[in-house]
A and B are shown apart, each in its own frame.
Chain A
Amino acid sequence: MYDAGKVITGIVIFLVLITFPFWFNVASGNATYKPDPKIITPNEQCMADGEYMKRNHMDMLDEWRDLVVREGQRTFVAPDGKTYEMSLSNTCMKCHSNKADFCDQCHNYMAVYPYCWDCHIEPQETTYGYK
């Protein structure tokens, strides 16, 4: 092979450059970062199991939206028999009033940007004195 030294050096430099983002993320600790949604009302009980909510909250909200807007039904019966008003702003966000530390944690991590808050009013984060 002609110019073996240069070619191999070039290949090595190329590999280092192209894998740079991976090295960089490992070195800076971003690769091990995990979202950490915080519950600020630990004494309140959610209407459904936490694991279920993690997986299904988006489907539940979609269903609630259709039931409220299209069917005009507003009361939800939870598995434990309690009733709740189906409302993002007025039910969910009354407990999870820390949008930045709750919703945004996973949403930012997963790079999903739901546009709920273009219209729905997000809670005033200053009122609960968290942070």
Chain B
Amino acid sequence: MGINRRGFIKIAGLSTLAGLTGKATLGVLAEEEAQQVVQTGEMLKAKRWAMVVDLHKCQQKKGCTACIDACHSVHNVPNFDNPKDEIKWIWKQDFEGAFPSQDHEFLKADIRQSTPVVFCNHCDNPPCVRVCPTQSTWKREDGIVMMDMHRCIGCRYCVVACPYGSRSFNWRDPRPFIKEIDPDFPTRSRGVVEKCNFCADRLARGKIPACVEACEEKALIFGDLEDPESEVRELLRNNITIRRKPSLGTNPEIYYIV
């Protein structure tokens, strides 16, 4: 015997109802298992993190590498003797290399001969983020250009895209080349790109970046660019500052007082 129209509609309606409530019930059950996460109060937050480097103060002590040592030790950055394999988060660059468009023959000698500390500029318009095919690098809401090493496939597009040389590729296993491993931060594996993360890991624990903390001359000043009362804004108001390769339109957020 066949089914009549009325019977069919009844069955269809009932099964739809069962399907809907069934899904809802599953949803409620799943909800119960969902994990709860909270933000802790100690975290340092800003609308737009930025850094000011006072070149005069930075150059006071010749050959000082306090910021570099501090950064590289807390982030387990390896030290390869071969410059081809070099990994760097923060390093010293000659003035011409750091600011090619600002350099000229008759520039003030102390500025021209300086070796500014350079690192990731945490650009407002980061070219590395645009080229990353796996979105393993992205710009956070507070402006930090972050790396997710778990997703990096080692294609090195970002290394090519970055006009500041801020990104290094792990050609070799870095572990044997780390003098002392800090257990609080992971190392990297062979085949991923790494760079300065503006100490996002330390900010989350309420600490300022390691390089800023290590600089005795207070040449590195870290703060919120969107806050008009912040120290960085104060310095930017009262000093002449330059940025690295601004004509490229990347909008770097590291400012150098000259």
Contacts and interface: CB of A to CB of B under 8 A. Distances in A.
Contacts of A77: 35-38
A74 B148 contact: no
Contact of B35 (A63, A65, A72, A120): A63
A75 interface: yes
Contact of A119 (B37, B187, B205): B187
Contacts of B138: 70
Main secondary structure of the interface of B (DSSP, over half): loop
Contact of A69 (B39, B148, B205): B148
Contact of B189 (A63, A70, A86, A115): A115
Nearest to B144: A72
B215 interface: no
B29 to A, nearest CB: 14
A115 to B, nearest CB: 7
A65 B38 contact: no
A72 B150 contact: no
Contact of B36 (A70, A76, A90): A76
B140 A72 contact: yes
Contacts of A69: 146, 148, 150
B16 interface: no
Interface in B129-187: 138, 140, 146, 148-150, 181, 183-184, 186-187
A70 B150 CA distance: 11
A83 B38 contact: yes
Interface size class of A (residues with CB under 8 A): 20 to 34
B48 interface: no
Given A89-B186, A119-B189, A65 B204 contact: no
B200 interface: yes
Interface string A87-119: 001100000000000000000000000010011
Given A90-B184, A119-B149, A72 B200 contact: yes
Contacts of B186: 89, 119-121
Contacts of A90: 183-184
A89 B181 CA distance: 13
A48 to B, nearest CB: 9
B40 interface: yes
B56 interface: no
Contacts of A72: 43, 140, 200, 204
Nearest to A79: B36
Nearest to B192: A119
A60 interface: yes
A107 to B, nearest CB: 18
Contacts of A120: 186
A119 B188 contact: yes
Given A74-B204, A118-B189, A119-B189, A60 B181 contact: no
A121 B187 contact: yes
Contacts of A89: 183-184, 186
Contact of A75 (B40, B146, B150, B187): B40
13 contacts: A63-B35, A69-B148, A74-B43, A76-B36, A83-B38, A89-B183, A89-B184, A115-B189, A118-B189, A119-B187, A119-B189, A121-B181, A121-B183
Given A75-B38, A77-B35, A119-B186, 4 more contacts: A69-B148, A70-B138, A83-B40, A121-B186
Interface of A: 60, 63, 65, 67, 69-70, 72-77, 83, 86, 89-90, 115, 118-121
List of 5 A-B pairs having minimum Cβ-Cβ separation, nearest first: A118-B189, A77-B36, A119-B186, A121-B183, A120-B186
